[in-house]
């Protein structure tokens, strides 16, 4: 009976970890927050934060460029804190783990390409 319980717990844990890996929603650093899958330019954090990771997923054809700005509202006049360009043919996405980069005004993501997706991980501080 105890053996079945332990086996069930292990299977459940592997299932949860597998779902997180499949949807790529696990955070880079302990205490990180994820934007989850985004498809348009958007404010990721309206408050000061530390950028910890960015992921880009292409449609398999078109190149995608993701630019992150030190701003919680817009890219206009803001400093670039992250930049990632991914060839469309890669299709499976690209993840860039960074040393935490300070965003004193928040994080704004600007994406270009046809049907791209991205995920930004950050720590609010």
Residue 37 lies in a domain: yes
- Residue 46: CATH number of its domain: 2.60.120
Q: What is the pLDDT of residue 12?
A: 52
**Contact between residue 35 and residue 44 where contact means Cβ atoms under 8 Å apart:** yes
Domain that holds residue 84: 27-124
Whether residue 61 is contained in a domain is answered as yes
The 10s digit of each residue's pLDDT in 46-74 is 999 999 988 888 888 889 999 999 999 99
Contact 44, 118 (CB under 8 A): no
CA 67-70-74 angle, to 5 degrees, is 75
pTM over 0.75: no
Look at the chain and report how many structural domains it folds into.
1
Q: Is residue 98 situated within a structural domain?
A: yes
């Amino acid at each position: 009976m105890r053996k079945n319980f332990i086996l069930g717990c292990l299977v459940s844990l592997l299932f949860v970890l597998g779902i997180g890996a499949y949807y790529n929603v696990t955070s880079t650093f302990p205490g990180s927050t994820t934007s989850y899958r985004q498809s348009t330019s958007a404010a990721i954090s309206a408050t000061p934060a530390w950028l910890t990771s960015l992921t880009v997923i292409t449609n398999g054809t078109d190149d995608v460029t993701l630019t992150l700005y030190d701003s919680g509202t817009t890219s206009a006049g803001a400093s670039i804190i992250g930049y990632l360009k991914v060839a469309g043919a890669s299709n499976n996405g690209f993840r860039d783990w960074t040393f935490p980069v300070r965003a004193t005004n928040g994080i704004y993501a600007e994406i270009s390409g046809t049907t791209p997706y991205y995920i930004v991980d950050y720590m609010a501080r």
